[in-house]
């Protein structure tokens, strides 16, 4: 296996920790089966294995937070105007996580309190969502913040980017843990932040962070860069290709 | 193995099954060959229904229509069914109109109303055109069943024929003002840019009923000018919005050019008025579906869009 060395490294760390760590200060180390993911032409989402070692006691919990590169998101609300449903309000969320998923060994309520989560900035309700209303359209009221925030979670979950459910972390012998991190097909490229926390009696006693790098690769990166860096040339190329293939098809079919 | 059948579209930034894209191209291509329209009025809404961002669907479809129109026009050129002079005047108008259309599109996209304008344009124009065509083809079919009935004059003269800059169009047997095809070309050009269509479904009836062109040259001439209008849209969208997905267009046109060849052959089997009647029904179906979607309360009143 390509990543065997990482597993071995994890095990070595584990051995080291059990030797030196004191009884109630935990330690946690985590890594991903792959820290670079390329969005190539065949990309249809992927699952990564998050694994690691923890110096744990019975009853310890592990919580994992995966958050994607911050991005601006336009959220719109429709209303009925003259019999048709049209967008009447817009809110631009500035620099919110493009992906957000939480994984844990247990139900969140059984791991810790909402206050601790707020302090640690865990959960979409704790990431400081702030309404910045666009200039309201003439004759319209500014957006109602609470409605937009409540709908955002649902909207983002519908496009697979913010998970509604808590994923599973499997902890073995209070020492080794593993979890499957799901990356949907429509993920944004950039640096992803993975936080792994160890909880004991409702308190986070140790934390490790790791990064995941997602970038466009292969042909799909080539086309994307071509379109953005040499857009006029790209347009001409697209037209010429279309003319050539249309002509070719007609020629091929005429001969038959 | 199944996963490898998916393809990641680099500009649309979504993953789609390759068979869906090629199948969609083939099906719409067949209809476009059959009726002599670009097929965009079906393809663009279908792409949007499948999750392609509307801006990408419109711009990419313009690119794909270039290919299917080239493929289609060659068959008509061989039969001498293209009025190049008329096509030239129409496309000058079309290039001006589509350039304005792309500017309008960019503006509407920024204010978040592009989806609404795309859908409303579809409902209004497909509704009017579909209804008029249906009426006309029903009348035509009725006339052929009454052998004694007199044929309608090729076209009526009205104030439009009093406009200056008169030109002779030999292939169409017309002597009319150049401003008329120029204006029609420009109007259809604006719609082409906003709706992601070639505009054949408006151009063809406009040529028959407004210009009074003979039916035999209408389809070929329409396809001829569509090539240039959609090429112009492809270029301008590439430069202004970078929403032309070459990968998506390539796969769609792979299906479409093949489908269009079969469609062109099949069109010989049907009579003109039957063909127009069928097209009218299809245009009305798309119109009703879109109107229904606008009028029905959406499941979720909120929607999100990731901004770049």
CB A143, CB A130: distance < 8 Å = no
Other residues' Cβ atoms within 10 Å of the Cβ of residue B269 = 9
B190 pLDDT tier (thresholds 50, 70, 90): very high
pLDDT tens for B59-107 read: 999 999 898 888 888 888 888 889 999 999 999 999 999 999 999 998 9
Distances (CA, A) of B45 to A226, B96, B227, B244: 27, 25, 20, 16
Chain A within 8 Å of B292 (Cβ-Cβ)? Answer: no
Q: Determine the Cα–Cα distance for residues B204 and A3; give it in Å rounded to an integer.
A: 63
> To which H or E segment does residue A156 belong?
helix A145-158
Contact assignment for A73 to B305 by CB distance below 8 Å: yes
Query: Counting Cβ atoms within 10 Å, is residue B93 exposed (0-12), middle (13-18) or buried (19+)?
Result: buried
Contacts of A159 in chain B (CB under 8 A): 304
Contacts of B9 in chain A (CB under 8 A): 220
Q: What is the pLDDT of residue A23?
A: 43
Contacts of B120 in chain A (CB under 8 A): 84
Contacts of B117 in chain A (CB under 8 A): none
Q: Determine the Cα–Cα distance for residues B196 and B112; give it in Å rounded to an integer.
A: 17
**pLDDT tens string for chain A (256 positions)?**
445 565 555 555 555 444 444 445 669 999 999 999 999 888 889 999 999 999 988 889 999 999 999 999 989 889 999 899 988 888 888 889 999 999 999 999 999 999 999 999 999 888 888 766 555 555 555 556 778 888 999 999 999 999 888 999 999 998 999 999 999 988 999 999 999 999 999 999 999 999 999 998 888 889 999 999 999 999 999 999 999 988 888 888 775 5
In sequence order, the 6+-apart residues with CB closer than 8 A to the CB of B171 are B82, B83, B84, B85, B86, B217
In sequence order, the 6+-apart residues with CB closer than 8 A to the CB of B127 are B284, B287, B291
Rounded to 5°, the CA angle B122-B59-B301 comes to: 55
Query: Average per-residue pLDDT in chain B?
Result: 85
Contact assignment for B235 to A232 by CB distance below 8 Å: yes
Contact assignment for B11 to A227 by CB distance below 8 Å: yes
Q: Determine the Cα–Cα distance for residues B169 and B182; give it in Å rounded to an integer.
A: 14
Contact assignment for A220 to B237 by CB distance below 8 Å: no
Contact assignment for B260 to A249 by CB distance below 8 Å: yes
In sequence order, the 6+-apart residues with CB closer than 8 A to the CB of B186 are B93, B94, B96, B97, B100
Tell me which residue in B11, B74, B297 faces A85 most closely, judged by beta carbons.
B297
The domain segmentation of chain A, as residue ranges, is: 4-216, 217-256
CATH code for the domain defined by A4-216: 2.60.40.1930
Contacts of A188 in chain B (CB under 8 A): 306
Contacts of B253 in chain A (CB under 8 A): 242, 245-246
In sequence order, the 6+-apart residues with CB closer than 8 A to the CB of A235 are B234, B235, B236, B237, B238, B239, B244
Report the relative pairing of strands A100-104 and A167-172 from DSSP bridges.
parallel
Contact assignment for B305 to A71 by CB distance below 8 Å: no
User: How close B243 gets to chain A, by Cα (Å)?
Assistant: 8
For B50, phi and psi rounded to 5 degrees?
Answer: -80, 0
Strand, helix or coil for residue A96 = strand
Contact assignment for B11 to A224 by CB distance below 8 Å: yes
The model's pTM is 0.79
Question: B173 versus A188: which is more confidently predicted?
Answer: A188
Q: What is the pLDDT of residue A144?
A: 65
Contact assignment for B302 to A221 by CB distance below 8 Å: no
Contacts of B112 in chain A (CB under 8 A): 74, 76, 87, 90
Contact assignment for B67 to A234 by CB distance below 8 Å: no
Report the relative pairing of strands B166-169 and B174-177 from DSSP bridges.
antiparallel
CB A192, CB A161: distance < 8 Å = no
Q: Which residue do the tokens 């760390």 mark?
A: A13
Tell me which residue in B120, B242, B301 faces A227 most closely, judged by beta carbons.
B242
Q: How much is the ipTM here?
A: 0.84
Tell me which residue in A72, A237, A249 faces B257 most closely, judged by beta carbons.
A249
Chain A within 8 Å of B253 (Cβ-Cβ)? Answer: yes
| Residues facing residue A87 across a β-bridge | A78
Q: What is the pLDDT of residue B148?
A: 55
Distances (CA, A) of B122 to B101, B102, B116, B285: 15, 17, 10, 11
Q: Determine the Cα–Cα distance for residues B28 and B41; give it in Å rounded to an integer.
A: 10
- Residue of A90, A184, A242 to mutate when probing chain B, most B C-beta within 10 A: A242
A130 φψ region: left (φ > 0), alpha (ψ -120 to 50), beta (else): beta
Chain A within 8 Å of B285 (Cβ-Cβ)? Answer: no
Q: Determine the Cα–Cα distance for residues A118 and A19; give it in Å rounded to an integer.
A: 34
Contact assignment for A85 to B235 by CB distance below 8 Å: no
Distances (CA, A) of A145 to A75, A92, A95, A141, B170: 11, 12, 17, 12, 65
Chain A within 8 Å of B131 (Cβ-Cβ)? Answer: no
Contact assignment for A42 to B7 by CB distance below 8 Å: yes
Contacts of A186 in chain B (CB under 8 A): 13-15
Q: Determine the Cα–Cα distance for residues B107 and B114; give it in Å rounded to an integer.
A: 8
Q: Determine the Cα–Cα distance for residues B141 and B139; give it in Å rounded to an integer.
A: 5
Tell me which residue in A75, A186, A250 faces B75 most closely, judged by beta carbons.
A250
């Amino acid at each position: 296996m390509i990543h065997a060395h990482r597993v071995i490294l994890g095990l070595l760390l584990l051995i080291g920790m059990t030797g030196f760590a004191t009884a109630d200060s935990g330690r946690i180390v985590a890594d991903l089966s792959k820290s670079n993911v390329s969005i190539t032409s065949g990309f249809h989402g992927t699952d990564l294995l998050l694994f690691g070692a923890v110096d744990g006691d019975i009853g310890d919990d592990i919580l994992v937070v995966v958050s994607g590169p911050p991005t601006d998101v336009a959220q719109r609300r429709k209303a009925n105007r003259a019999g048709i449903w049209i967008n009447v309000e817009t809110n631009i969320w500035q620099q919110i996580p493009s992906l957000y998923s939480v994984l844990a060994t247990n139900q969140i309520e059984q791991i810790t309190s909402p206050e601790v989560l707020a302090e640690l900035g865990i959960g979409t309700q704790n990431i400081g969502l702030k309404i910045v209303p666009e200039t309201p359209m003439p004759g319209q009221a500014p957006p109602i913040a609470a409605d937009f925030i409540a709908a955002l979670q649902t909207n983002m979950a519908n496009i697979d980017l913010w998970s509604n459910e808590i994923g599973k972390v499997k902890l073995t012998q209070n020492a080794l843990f593993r979890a499957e991190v799901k990356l949907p097909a429509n993920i944004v490229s950039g640096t992803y932040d993975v936080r792994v926390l160890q909880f004991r009696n409702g308190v986070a006693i140790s934390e490790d962070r790791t990064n995941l790098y997602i970038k466009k690769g292969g042909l799909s990166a080539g086309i994307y860069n071509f379109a953005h860096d040499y857009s006029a040339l790209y347009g001409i190329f697209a037209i010429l290709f279309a003319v050539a293939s249309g002509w070719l098809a007609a020629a091929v079919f005429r001969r038959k | 193995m199944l996963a490898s059948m998916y393809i990641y579209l680099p500009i649309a930034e979504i993953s789609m099954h390759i068979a869906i894209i090629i199948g969609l191209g083939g099906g719409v291509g067949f209809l476009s060959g059959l009726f002599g329209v670009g097929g965009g009025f079906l393809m663009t809404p279908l792409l949007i229904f499948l999750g392609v961002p509307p801006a990408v669907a419109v711009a990419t479809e313009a690119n794909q229509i270039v290919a299917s129109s080239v493929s289609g026009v060659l068959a008509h050129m061989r039969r001498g069914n293209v009025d190049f002079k008329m096509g030239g005047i129409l496309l000058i108008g079309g290039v001006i109109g589509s350039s304005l259309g792309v500017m309008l599109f960019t503006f509407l996209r920024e204010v978040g109303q592009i989806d609404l304008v795309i859908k409303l344009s579809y409902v209004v124009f497909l509704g009017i055109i579909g209804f008029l065509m249906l009426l006309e083809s029903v009348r035509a079919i009725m006339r052929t069943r009454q052998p004694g009935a007199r044929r309608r004059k090729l076209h009526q003269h009205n104030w439009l024929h009093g406009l200056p800059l008169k030109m002779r169009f030999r292939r169409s047997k017309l002597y009319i003002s150049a401003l008329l095809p120029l204006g029609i070309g420009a109007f259809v050009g604006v719609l082409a840019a906003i709706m992601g269509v070639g505009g054949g479904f408006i151009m063809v009836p406009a040529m028959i009923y407004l210009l009074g062109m003979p039916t035999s040259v209408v389809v070929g001439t329409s396809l001829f000018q569509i090539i240039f209008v959609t090429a112009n849209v492809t270029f301008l969208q590439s430069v202004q919005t970078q929403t032309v997905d070459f990968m998506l267009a390539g796969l769609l046109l792979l299906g479409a050019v093949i489908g269009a060849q079969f469609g062109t052959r099949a069109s010989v089997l049907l009579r003109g008025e039957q063909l127009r009647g069928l097209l009218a029904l299809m245009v009305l179906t798309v119109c009703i579906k879109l109107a229904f979607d606008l009028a029905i309360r959406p499941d979720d009143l909120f929607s999100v869009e990731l901004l770049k």
